[in-house]
C-alpha cells in the first residue's frame, strides 16, 4: 500500500520569508500524481499545486513551488514571500495513475506565519 | 464556481443515535468520497462512490454506511453513533476520468458524540 509521510507536524515562518514543507511517499508504481492541499482554519481544503510523476520539471504556481525528487520519493513544497494568509494545515497527497480513485494523504503540517 | 456543500458544520449527537451526514456537489462529478480527519492521522477514506448506487469501502468503513441515490448527493450514515466516531468528516468529489482530476472538498462537519 502506498503511504505518505509528513515528518513536520508544525512549522513556522516569518512573514515575507521562505519555508519548505517536507513530504515523502512510498510506492512501487511508475505512474502517479502528487498534490499539496491547503486547509485554512475553519475553511475548505483547496488544491495548492500538483505534480505528474512523468514530468521532470517541478511544478510552480505563483509563490508555491515543489521540489520533486522521484528517485528519493520526495515531494517538498516551497512557499516564497510568505503571507499571513498562508497560515493553514498543509496536506501532501498521492494518487495512482489512471482512473484510480484512491488518494492517500499525509498527516499534515500546521504552518504558522509570524508578522 | 465549483461547490461541495455539507449539511452541517457542527453536530452533537448522543451515543447510539443514528446520524446522517449529507453532501451535495454541483459539478456533475462521478466520484464522491467521505473522509474522516483526525489530528496526527491526516485524512482517512471511509467510503467512496463512482456512480449512482455504487459504493466501495475505503480504509475505515466499520461503523459507517453510505447512500447515493442521486448523482449529486452522497450521504454518510452512522447506524449507532459511538464516542470514537467523534471527528471531522470531509466530503469530496471529482471527475472519473482525466489524469489531472483533483478532488474538491466540502467545508467539513465536526461531529461530537457524547
Identify whether the C-beta of residue B36 lies closer than 8 Å to the C-beta of residue B103: no
When divided into structural domains, chain B yields a total of: 1
Q: Per the structure block, which three cell numbers stand in for B26? A: 454541483
For A48-85, write each residue's pLDDT tens digit.
999 999 888 999 999 999 999 999 999 999 999 999 99
**Residue that is written with C-alpha cell 456533475 in the block:** B28
Instruction: Tell me the CA distances in angstroms from B31 to A15, A96, B54, B66, B110, one per residue in order.
Output: 38, 15, 10, 13, 23
Q: B 85-114 residues with CB below 8 A of A?
A: 90, 94, 96-97, 99-100, 102-103, 105-108
Cβ separation of B102 and A50 shorter than 8 Å? Answer: yes
Binned at pLDDT 50, 70 and 90, residue A99 comes out as low
Q: Say yes or no to pLDDT of B81 above 80.
A: yes
Encode chain A in three state secondary structure: CCEEECCCCEEEEECCCCEEECCEEECCCCCEEEEEEEECCCCCCEEEEEEECCCCCCCEECCEEEEEECCCCEEEEEECCCCHHHCEEEEEEEEECCCCCCEEECCCEEEEEEC
**Range of B68's domain?**
4-113
CB count within 10 Å of CB B36 equals: 21
* Chain A nearest CA to B82, separation (Å): 23
B42 → closest Cβ in A98, A102, A108: A108
Helix (H) or strand (E) holding B41: none
Q: In CATH, what number is assigned to the domain containing residue B88?
A: 2.60.40.10
Q: Per the structure block, which three cell numbers stand in for B66? A: 453510505
Summarize the confidence of residues B25-43 as an average pLDDT: 93
**Range of A91's domain?**
3-114
When divided into structural domains, chain A yields a total of: 1
For B35-59, write each residue's pLDDT tens digit.
999 998 999 999 999 999 999 999 9
Summarize the confidence of residues B88-110 as an average pLDDT: 85
Amino acid at each position: 500500500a502506498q503511504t505518505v509521510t509528513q515528518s513536520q507536524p508544525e512549522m513556522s515562518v516569518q512573514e515575507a520569508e521562505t519555508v519548505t514543507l517536507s513530504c515523502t511517499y512510498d510506492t512501487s508504481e511508475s505512474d502517479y500524481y502528487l498534490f499539496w492541499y491547503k486547509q485554512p482554519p475553519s475553511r475548505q481544503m483547496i488544491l495548492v499545486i500538483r505534480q505528474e510523476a512523468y514530468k521532470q520539471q517541478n511544478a510552480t504556481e505563483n509563490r508555491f513551488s515543489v521540489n520533486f525528487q522521484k528517485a528519493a520519493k520526495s515531494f517538498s513544497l516551497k512557499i516564497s514571500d510568505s503571507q499571513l494568509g498562508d497560515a493553514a494545515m498543509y496536506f501532501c497527497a498521492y494518487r495512482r495513475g489512471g482512473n484510480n480513485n484512491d488518494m492517500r494523504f499525509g498527516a499534515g503540517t500546521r504552518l504558522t506565519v509570524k508578522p | 464556481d465549483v461547490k461541495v456543500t455539507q449539511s452541517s458544520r457542527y453536530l452533537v449527537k448522543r451515543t447510539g443515535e443514528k446520524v446522517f451526514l449529507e453532501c451535495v456537489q454541483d459539478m456533475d462529478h462521478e466520484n464522491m468520497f467521505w473522509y474522516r480527519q483526525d489530528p496526527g492521522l491526516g485524512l482517512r477514506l471511509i467510503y467512496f462512490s463512482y456512480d449512482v448506487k455504487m459504493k466501495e469501502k475505503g480504509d475505515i468503513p466499520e461503523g459507517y454506511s453510505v447512500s447515493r441515490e442521486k448523482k449529486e448527493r452522497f450521504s454518510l450514515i452512522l447506524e449507532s453513533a459511538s464516542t470514537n466516531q467523534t471527528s471531522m468528516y470531509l466530503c469530496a468529489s471529482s471527475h472519473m476520468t482525466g489524469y489531472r482530476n483533483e478532488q474538491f472538498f466540502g467545508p467539513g462537519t465536526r461531529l461530537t458524540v457524547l
